[in-house]
Structure 1
């Protein structure tokens, strides 16, 4: 598989990533720091997107149903060298399905996530996956 994107910026303004038919705006100036994602947040967004895509993928393979999944991701940046040092996540799966095997799901996400595996080569990843019983879909 190969991937391709295009990104552009305007001096003293903001930037955007063009992916397929979508534009994702991001900040490159101090003026947009409170309103647009910065590159570090986009990086964490890619990490979270990988996890959520794999929840969907593995729900079919592992034969479990879920209503929604939410992942919260945080990271620490070191100054010397400048890099992400620790990424922590909490993935909550809203499901009442007894077929949801959390330890196996975690193992599969950690083994088969493209972005997850790329990131773990350069920093520590710590995470928790939990099931929240959904009472609306019994």
Structure 2
């Protein structure tokens, strides 16, 4: 089993920072919000996007899937009581000349082998598609 650790520290009433390895991410923990940092819900969505992109990076060489770029668009719907994400919708846009069935094969790999994808899909409705960049 793999273990992952981070350390998060409150800087002041306006924000915090999370650190791991040689990296740091500014966190929006201000009750009024702030535009220059990710809030917790946005961090969750960013983690999912990173998982999807990393999954493509892992699967593409195995599948001999050629692509030039990837974009991930996410939308999370949060309910207030109890506070939780009830729905996450995504669109993965791949810049590729591969056939549609190969795009679906890549999408299947992203859904099957993504740690964050699998964790979230067992906790909420997670739906979306992978499409070719036009």
Equivalent residue number for residue 93 of structure 2: 92
Distance 1:9 1:132 in 2: 40
1:4-60 deviation line (CA, Å, top 9, x unaligned): 111111231311110110110011114552221101101100000000000111110
TM-score normalized with structure 2 length: 0.91
Equivalent residue number for residue 51 of structure 1: 52
Moved more, 77-86 or 96-105: 96-105
Question: Equivalent residue of 1:10, what SS?
Answer: strand
Distance 1:19 1:127 in 2: 30
Structure-2 change in CA distance of 1:98 and 1:107 (3 Å): closer
Cα RMSD after superposing both structures: 1.7
For these two proteins, the number of residue pairs brought into alignment is 133
**Alignment gaps of 5+ in structure 1:** 134-138
TM-score normalized with structure 1 length: 0.89
C-alpha contact (below 8 Å) 1:94/1:131 kept by paired residues:
yes
Equivalent residue number for residue 111 of structure 2: 110
**Alignment gaps of 5+ in structure 2:** none
Structure-2 change in CA distance of 1:86 and 1:99 (3 Å): closer
